[in-house]
């Protein structure tokens, strides 16, 4: 093949990838310039609705994140056709006296899900059972009084392989910081930071960090019995319902190269009932994490906490959704609601929050099927050496034995022929 032909093939490959790759875009408070109410609102607050769009020639994936103090931290992910536009009616959104759908999508989403932190609170684990018991004293982070800081925006989103991060945290809550970090990427891969979760091109990596929260002056955390643990209550909403019971499942691997000391992954797979032509293995969405959090910015085995998940509780279309963003997302649509809790620290874990005042937890939320865990190169090499070398030795030994037998047989035949010749003479 000539050099010109190779160059032409490479050029065509580059052009093909450029045409088919997804493009990321990012905007804060979409359509705000068209509404005086939104302009006035943004002059008085740092709250934001962040819209990240991920387009290719066939379809688009939209990620809508709420950093609005009147809402709990909320993420919407939904897939639409390529030319679909998404807008916000800010007059309806900012009208707190009456609910009106404010999310303007000019075509029906193909599928999608909503995710929110219903509650985030500390409970005093007086019984040291490792889980919240009704009546345990609590200190709750009130989202209605949550003061969001300025969202950190990405500097450049022109590169199709770029990473878009949206960081948001409150200025003061119990004299500490509660922050969220979102990352959207235009390809499949694995996060660089521990716990190094795998992600897909249609997913969001979400980190929750609770740092330096001081509870000693809180009325429910006084006296000798002071055992604060952090707990999160999470809601997930899917469009079009689900076709089967949904529950948390666990997969185990032999490899802890990416997250030392951790061999399990927890995932919630979300199926769809809507009659559409999809691959039989494709799911509506997933949530996936490793059952650990870190209680120090030095993320090593010694600084890990167990993350205990409760059973998933399923609601129905009559379930009350106390979140206007999700409520407008599922307005007049069939949907399913799921709720579960996460407790940071097991019953045998004495590393209560006040010990380090640090909690860092990560998960991945996305559309389609959850990414599969792959073995690290080191483990693959160990397997290759551990199993491959003995096999090679066995093959080599067998070959040598066969060779010895064949050689011995030839020698025996030669001696036999020589003996026969001597007798005939």
77-90, pLDDT tens digit by residue?
Answer: 999 988 888 899 99
Domain boundaries, the chain: 115-378
Collapsing DSSP to helix, strand or coil, 403 comes out as helix
What's the confidence (pLDDT) of residue 240?
Answer: 73
Q: What Rg do the C-alpha atoms of the chain give, in angstroms?
A: 29
Residue in the structure block whose two tokens are 């185990």: 252
What's the confidence (pLDDT) of residue 386?
Answer: 62
What's the confidence (pLDDT) of residue 11?
Answer: 44
Q: Return d(Cα 314, Cα 268) in angstroms, integer.
A: 12
Name the token pair of 308: 């205990």
- In the chain, the percentage of residues whose pLDDT exceeds 70 is 75
DSSP state string for 105-155? ESS--SEEEEEEEEEEEEEE-TT--SS--TT--EEE--GGG--B-PPBPPS
CA torsion angle 404 410 415 418 (round to 10): -160
What's the confidence (pLDDT) of residue 226?
Answer: 84
Residue in the structure block whose two tokens are 């119990």: 174
Q: Return d(Cα 204, Cα 270) in angstroms, integer.
A: 16
pLDDT digits (tens, 9 = 90+) for 217-255: 788 887 777 889 999 999 999 887 655 557 888 888 876
Spans of the chain, pLDDT less than 70: 1-22, 150, 152-173, 241-245, 255, 272-283, 316-319, 373-389, 407-425
What's the confidence (pLDDT) of residue 358?
Answer: 95
Name the token pair of 319: 């379930």
Upper half-sphere CA count for residue 222 (Cβ side, 13 Å) = 4
What's the confidence (pLDDT) of residue 57?
Answer: 77
Q: How far is CA 185 from the centre of its chain?
A: 12
Q: Return d(Cα 279, Cα 369) in angstroms, integer.
A: 10
What's the confidence (pLDDT) of residue 363?
Answer: 96
What's the confidence (pLDDT) of residue 394?
Answer: 77
């Amino acid at each position: 093949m000539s050099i010109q032909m190779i160059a032409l093939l490479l050029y065509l490959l580059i052009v093909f990838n450029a045409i088919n790759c997804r493009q990321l875009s990012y905007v804060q408070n979409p359509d705000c310039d068209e509404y005086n109410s939104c302009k006035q609102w943004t002059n008085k607050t740092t709250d934001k609705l962040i819209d990240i769009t991920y387009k290719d020639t066939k379809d688009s994936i939209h990620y809508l994140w709420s950093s609005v103090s009147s809402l709990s931290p909320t993420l919407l992910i939904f897939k639409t056709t390529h030319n679909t536009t998404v807008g916000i009616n800010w007059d309806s959104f900012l009208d707190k006296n009456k609910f009106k759908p404010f999310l303007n999508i000019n075509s029906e989403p193909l599928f999608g899900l909503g995710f929110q932190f219903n509650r985030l609170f500390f409970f005093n684990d007086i019984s040291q059972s490792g889980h919240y018991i009704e009546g345990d004293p609590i200190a709750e982070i009130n989202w209605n009084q949550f003061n969001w800081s300025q969202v950190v925006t990405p500097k450049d989103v022109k590169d199709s392989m770029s990473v878009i991060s949206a960081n948001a945290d409150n200025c003061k809550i119990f004299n500490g910081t509660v922050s969220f970090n979102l990352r959207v990427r235009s390809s499949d891969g694995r996060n660089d930071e521990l716990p190094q979760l795998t992600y897909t091109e249609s997913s969001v990596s979400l980190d929750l960090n609770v740092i330096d929260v001081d509870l000693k002056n809180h009325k429910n955390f006084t006296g000798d019995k002071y055992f604060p643990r952090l707990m999160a209550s999470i809601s997930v909403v899917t469009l079009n319902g689900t076709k089967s019971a949904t529950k948390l499942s666990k997969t185990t691997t032999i490899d802890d190269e990416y997250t030392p000391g951790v061999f399990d992954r927890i995932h919630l797979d979300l199926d769809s009932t809507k009659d559409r032509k999809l691959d039989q293995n494709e799911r509506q969405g997933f949530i996936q994490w490793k059952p650990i959090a870190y209680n120090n910015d030095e993320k090593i085995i010694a600084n890990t906490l167990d993350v205990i998940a409760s059973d998933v509780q399923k609601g129905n279309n009559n379930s009350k959704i106390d979140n206007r963003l999700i409520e407008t997302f599922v307005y007049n649509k069939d949907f399913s609601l799921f709720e579960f809790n996460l407790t940071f620290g097991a019953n045998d874990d004495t590393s209560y929050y006040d010990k380090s005042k640090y909690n860092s937890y990560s998960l991945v939320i996305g559309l389609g099927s959850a990414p599969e865990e792959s073995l690290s190169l080191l483990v693959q090499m160990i397997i290759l050496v551990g199993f491959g070398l003995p096999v090679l030795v066995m093959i080599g030994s067998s070959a040598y034995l066969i060779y010895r037998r064949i050689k011995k047989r030839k020698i025996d035949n030669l001696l036999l022929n020589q003996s026969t010749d001597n007798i005939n003479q």
